[in-house]
Chains A and B, each alone.
Chain A
Amino acid sequence: MNLDLIKGSRSKILAAAVLLIAGIFVVRLFYLQVIQHEHYVALAQEEQQDISTIPASRGLIYAKDGTAPVQLVMNQKVYTVVADPKVIKEAQKAQLIASLREIAGGNVRTGFEALLDQEGSRYAILATKLSRLQAEKLKEKEFYGVVYQATTQRVYPEGALAGQVLGFVNAAGQGNYGVEGYLNEELKGIDGSLKTVTDVSKVPLTIGEDNVRIPAQDGKNVVLSLDRNVQAKVEGALAAGLQRTGATYGSAVVMDPKTGKVMAMANLPTYNPAEYNKVEDAAIFNNGAISAPYEPGSVLKTYTLAAGIDKGVVKASDTYNNTDSIMIGDNYIVGNATKGQTGIITFQHALTWSLNTGFVTIAQRLGDGNSVNRTARDAMYDYFHDKFRLGEPTGIELSNESAGSVISPDEEQGNAVRYATMSFGQGLNTTVLQVAAGFSAIVNGGDYYKPTIIDGYMTNEGFKQNATPSPVQKGVISKSTSDQVVQATHEARASSFGRTDKPGYYIGGKTGTAQVGVPGGYSDTETIASYLGYGGGDQMEYVIMVELSGKDKVLGGAQDALPVFTDISNWMIDYLKIQPKG
């Protein structure tokens, strides 16, 4: 088409104007579509695409029921009812309130009715932690301006059982204390993400080239070595012990001396992890068996005896002259709590009657025989700290484990007086678990196992048990030493308390009544009661450590802690179906 326009005519001007405008359009479109391409593509994607998180499911925690895993911590989807008071119609309010009272029951917030009248607010939480069924019933009512937000919470079918071992998960989804805290990274998993074009209702569509789906990696399902039946028994026995003695704090550990696996770990007072937000004293979150070091007292005489026998300086049948007191250095006298067993007596007798003088004598014999000299102190430190691992975290898979302390002979405080008192369990700080783990090595033939509370993992294929633990240090004492200490502790128990044991079984142990350190010395009004023992038939099946204490409570190992041990021990024999020795 060829238009002949007269030069300077209005048509020519119009054509020029149209061309100019078209040119501007072309330039503008070039700018928008070519130069600004990336910018507008990004804006369009922002509008069309949705990036959502695919939440990872937190791993479950199992305990054992005999050999079968049972769920101890589970996940449940719960709903929060949120309303927008500004859009809720007046006529609907009464019906909404009535429905919430009827269906949500105790899950409604106190005074939720008043929240609906606050029309200045656009967000009012009316009820929390509704079950799926409750939420579905409310959804059926189709209240306008009410939404249901789903969240996941931890549930505990066994209630407060093993609460301090488990720990809890806070509102932000982070594990705190116990297994939840220690294994938080393993349990929480890794969230996935979904980047996709969506419709107005946020339904993901497959159109588009940039859709990306990264699946979530759920947390691992952990199977603990805790046996729920043993745990329940230990918690019950401990509670009964506290009630009987008037003690206000108690800890107990039951472990398998052949593997280091913890079968039960209990503390009182405790809490229900499902109601962690109701706990007033945060100290209750701590697992006292691993986080509250104390001077264990006479239960450690078993350690001193093991060190003396293993070093070849004493046997349980060896004798010494007991005068009910012994001088350390120039001005420090150690006396016996039980008086009158004087004269030439055996170390077995000293163990049975828990005579401090006998164990200070063993400490002296680890040196030159007359004093707890540097050689003696080095030997004791080697056994107590390096071999039986007192004063070091055991490495159990639980949060907030304390190290305790065993002062080295290299330090000024590591003098003869300290090591003399250490021979009967004073002057050092250890946790209940450390003492139980070291004692396990003493009675199992001399191999130290790291205490563990993880028995394996639950996978889609079923329970995958960890390999049988190997000792972290073999032969910390000789088999012969182990046998002699087992025999000595069995005799010590049998001579005084054996009548309370089931006949035909090999039970042994040692009492402990520890003084409590106060500024400038020891308290006269408070002692801590302990009992450390083992049991089994032809082989060791369990080690139990019990500790009871209370503010301004004078508690004794024999009268207060020992009955708790006996209660648990006799029950364990039946539960583990242990056959009588021989």
Chain B
Amino acid sequence: MYRIVDKVVKEHKEMRVAFAEVMEEMSQEDDRIIYLDADLINSIGMTNYWNDHRDKAVNCGIQEANMIGVASGMSATGLIPFTHTFGTFASRRVMDQVFISAAYAKQNIKIIGSDPGITATLNGGTHMPLEDIGMMRCVPEVTIIEPTDSAMLRDILRKAKDAPGVFYIRLSRKKAEKIYEDGSTFEIGKIAEVRSGEDVTIIASGIMVAEAITAANALVNEGIKARVLNAYTIKPIDKDSIIKAAYETKAIVTAENHNILNGLGSAVAEVLAENCCCPLARIGVQDQFGEVGDLEYLKKTFKMRAVDIAQAAKKVIGCKYVD
């Protein structure tokens, strides 16, 4: 059960702080949890955890491939490994290890890929995972989740721990915009409705949820009621909520911090194409490489701002099929 905050504001705590706190709590409760990192412990705020739990926190060094394989082996003995590195290295650098040692072998590991998409900001194009969801979507049985704020992260991490299988969790390290009240709970595989509306639906994930809400607020001034859905689980995608939105609002915009190819927009397009027809516009990186810059510059450069979403919403509304 989740509750939406009245006003979206930036959180007080960074997501990585919430991550470290939940890991500490879960670690106290369950000795099967092992934390592995590839020399980015300090970056994800897990230094205290590492120092306090040297018996079950492993710094593998800069060995992402080995880390995923080692985690898979640990899982085979009944442990629940959580691995962390930047999203680029947690996905494309270790794709074959994720595919064979983890997923094909049906192991139980939770892969945290931090700095999703353009949130890698000053690390630039080499460090911007804009294709990680696309690659992970192609690996059978992998669950892909992008927690939106720390309230969701706290609940989803625990749910991921208790659900068997390979999870890829896209985690922003920085302060998120607060969308959900503390104590909210979520169901893996579902979409959360954060704004009701019947004229158009904006399906967003990650940092784009706050942009979608801002867009929806702006659209109200133009007499447009936009529904905002938060697709925090990208795989398995919540088909029912998408089909329902297509029938009820007859126009959809997706907003993702990822290449529009093979990400959330593609997942939604697949559902629409196979189940119902409805105009669709996809906001996200338009098959380009990333670059350095602060977040606002990058949002503007890649046309990922609320204004871009609102414009796309009006466009799809204008394309609605006439009965």
Q: Do A and B come from one complex?
A: no
Taking Cβ atoms with an 8 Å cutoff, the residues of B that contact A are none
